[in-house]
Amino acid sequence: MNGAFYTGSYRNIFLEYGYDEDEINKRLGDIWQTMFFGSEDERIYFETENAMGYVVDTGNMDVRTEGMSYAMMMSVQLDKKEVFDRIWKWTKTYMWMEAGRNKGYFAWSVLPNGVKNSDGPAPDGEEFFAMALFFASNRWGDGEGIYHYSNEAKAILHECLHKGERAEDEGKPMWNPENRLIKFVPEWEFSDPSYHLPHFYELFALWANEIDRLFWKEAAKASRSYLKKACHSVTGLAAEYADYDGTPRHLDNHHRFYSDSYRVAANIGLDYEWFQADEWECECADKIQKFFCKTVQGEEDFVYEIDGTQIKEKVLHPVGLIATNAMASLAAKGPYNRACVEKFWNTPLRKGDRRYYDNCLYFFAFMALSGNYRIWGKSSV
């Protein structure tokens, strides 16, 4: 087993390709400073009174569990405890649902003033919250109340699996209990391939409540198998939504390779970096990079069907796609990984209204490719 989980060693692909180590570290620090404390056209993070802070989806002007959980992961990876705690306090204050069908989950969309846009959750937020909290516990130690990070993480994961088991509870779990696959939303029996994070589930199998650890181990295996079905056999591309058999879900245009889908390449890359559990991930990463570098020769600006058919529609997040294609180089072994990394290195952070999603993916890719997206802690907590 040669994954970072076993060796404790993380590749710095930028360094491998000859970039200066001081420049790599400076770039990472500058990305953090720009996204969290930069100008109004650059930042996505804003602090409030009562030691809180939030991240805005600048394209939709709301606060999402996706962005809040992403920012918590960024904060723990870069040892930014104050920002982490501010975001977590805002999340628990305004996003956590204390009553109703979705009690114990987090509202996926909230206005910056704290008013909920929806009482529905999005499972990708919950899984990132839990992982970031476990890492915080292992890196900084548990505090009291909501800052007892490991207890908070365990409570989130318990709700995700056991929702609806009590007679008075009408809610639904976030994972299908039979096939162990994450749902797009709890009420709908289909998935989003980009939600599948087997590298997180491997760690949940160590740190979640003991009764659920076998489930998480099986979920990691199930997700790796699912991705083989959801990613096209030639292009490697996945749809935004897909049924449990991997078939693209025809709901509006979500059967296409579009914004959510970009994260699949990044997730495959990080799973391989951490665990190296399946060589198929290398093959899929190679296919994705070949598709963009050779088949369509760098045309990231268009929407595609997963078989590679081009749709004459411009994408919303071209910078995010460049970033995730580069992050796939953690698994890729073919001839295109260097080109993808160099294109990413030469691409700046996005400015303007749509910067939030692109720059989140950018940050994750830069952390990962510089060896700074790490597992914090291994033993049970």
Burial class (CB in 10 A: 0-12, 13-18, 19+), 79: exposed
Quick one: which H or E segment has residue 263? helix 262-275
CA distance 151 to 166: 21
* End-to-end Cα separation, the chain, in angstroms: 23
* 305 annotated active-site: no
Spell out the long-range contacts of 110-117 with Cβ–Cβ below 8 A and sequence spacing 24 or more: 110/62, 110/63, 110/64, 111/62, 111/63, 112/46, 112/54, 112/56, 112/61, 112/62, 112/63, 117/62
The catalytic residue among 57, 260, 271, 281 is 260
φ and ψ at residue 46, rounded to 5 degrees: -140, 135
CA distance 336 to 329: 9
Query: How many alpha carbons lie under 13 Å from residue 321 in its C-beta half-sphere?
Result: 23
The catalytic residue among 62, 66, 159, 286 is 66
| Residue 68 near residue 90, CB atoms below 8 Å | yes
* 178 annotated active-site: no
Active-site positions? 66, 260
